[in-house]
């Protein structure tokens, strides 16, 4: 089915819809591109462009980098307008074709598929330090890595959690003074909340005086980011997939995987991304949708693979709930 997800209203609407239908007929998902073209559609309406012809002036104004976006996102917008111009020319509509501006070299994050996730958590759940003194850390890793994956948290956000930040009655984490010095709420699924309750009982019986939800080797301090980084690399190295990726994953890959799987579920359910992206952006602690969309276009080629092979069930991904700042 070549269904159009968005309603286009500008003079360019017939050509945008025609391009999308052609791309989908060729086997492309083309949902992210359709979203960006929707923003171009609004841009044309806002600027009063009534003639369906892409001129150099229109292209140059569209290509201006905005304050809230990075160069890579800006270049993506330009490249999609270029695709529209090429399509319009093929339809006999002589339009200006903006010069393609290659994105800066970036490292594409590795998105873990179902088999890799299963293997990783098997390694996490069977890990036990040889020194009995540090064996409590094994249960910390088991929960902490699940929080990173199921809640899309940043590395430091998990380490810095205090007991007072974890509302186990309502399944809510309070992330304090994260990137951009902003607080936010992160909602957990019920089964993850249950794991947190059981964990807190155990850690409190062992270390009743610590304020940290994940205490380090010195209970007066939280577990260190470097320790989590090293442990992830060690545990990933225990899986059969270690050394087989173009880029070996880091803890941050769990956050990336959360975002990709969440978007894939929405696409599979037919939910337009522009409806849900503001909620996901706030859930992740992003300052704007552009930051969240960056995850998408960085893995756009992998999206088809993830969508076909790795549809993670809704059971393990928390729903996004709006949070007023």
Q: Where are the domains of the chain?
A: 13-90, 110-325
Q: Return the H-helix or E-strand segment holding 145.
A: helix 136-151
Lowest mean pLDDT of 80-94, 141-155, 195-209, 255-269, name the range: 255-269
* Contact (Cβ atoms closer than 8 angstroms) between residue 83 and residue 19: yes
pLDDT tens, position by position, 151-199? 999 999 999 999 999 999 999 999 987 776 678 999 999 999 999 999 9
**Who's near 272: CB < 8 A, 6+ residues apart?**
5, 6, 35
- Indicate the pTM of the whole model: 0.65
Enumerate the β-bridge partners of residue 11. none
pLDDT, averaged across the chain: 83
* Contact (Cβ atoms closer than 8 angstroms) between residue 306 and residue 265: no
Confidence of residue 317 (pLDDT cuts 50, 70, 90): very low
Asked whether residue 47 carries a pLDDT value surpassing 50, the answer given is yes
Confidence of residue 26 (pLDDT cuts 50, 70, 90): confident
CATH superfamily entry for domain 110-325: Intergrase catalytic core (1.10.443.10)
pLDDT on residue 84: 95
């Amino acid at each position: 089915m070549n269904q159009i997800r968005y309603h286009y209203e500008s003079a360019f609407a017939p050509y945008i819809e025609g391009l999308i239908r052609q791309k989908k007929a060729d086997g492309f998902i083309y949902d992210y591109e359709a979203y960006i073209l929707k923003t171009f559609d609004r841009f044309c309406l806002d600027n009063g462009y009534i003639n369906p012809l892409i001129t150099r002036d229109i292209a140059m104004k569209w290509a201006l980098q905005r304050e809230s976006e990075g160069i890579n996102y800006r270049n993506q917008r330009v490249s999609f307008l270029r695709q529209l111009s090429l399509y319009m020319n093929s339809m006999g509509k002589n339009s200006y074709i903006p010069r393609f501006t290659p994105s800066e070299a970036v490292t594409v994050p590795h998105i873990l598929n179902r088999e890799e996730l299963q293997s990783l958590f098997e390694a996490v759940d069977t890990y036990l330090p040889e020194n009995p003194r540090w064996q409590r850390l094994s249960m910390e890793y088991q929960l902490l890595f699940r929080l990173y994956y199921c809640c899309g948290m940043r590395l430091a956000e998990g380490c810095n959690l205090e007991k007072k930040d974890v509302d186990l009655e309502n399944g809510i984490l309070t992330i304090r003074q994260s990137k951009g010095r902003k607080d936010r709420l992160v909602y957990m699924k019920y089964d993850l909340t249950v794991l947190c309750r059981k964990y807190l009982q155990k850690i409190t019986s062992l270390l009743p005086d610590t304020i940290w939800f994940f205490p380090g080797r010195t209970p007066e301090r939280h577990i260190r980011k470097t320790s989590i980084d090293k442990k992830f690399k060690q545990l990933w190295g225990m899986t059969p997939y270690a050394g087989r990726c173009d880029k070996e994953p880091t803890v941050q890959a769990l956050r990336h995987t959360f975002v990709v799987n969440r978007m894939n579920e929405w696409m599979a359910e037919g939910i337009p991304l522009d409806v849900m992206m503001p909620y996901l952006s706030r859930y992740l602690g992003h300052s704007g949708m552009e930051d969240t969309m960056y995850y998408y276009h960085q893995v756009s080629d992998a999206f088809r693979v993830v969508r076909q092979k790795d549809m993670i069930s809704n059971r393990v991904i928390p729903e996004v709930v709006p949070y007023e700042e």
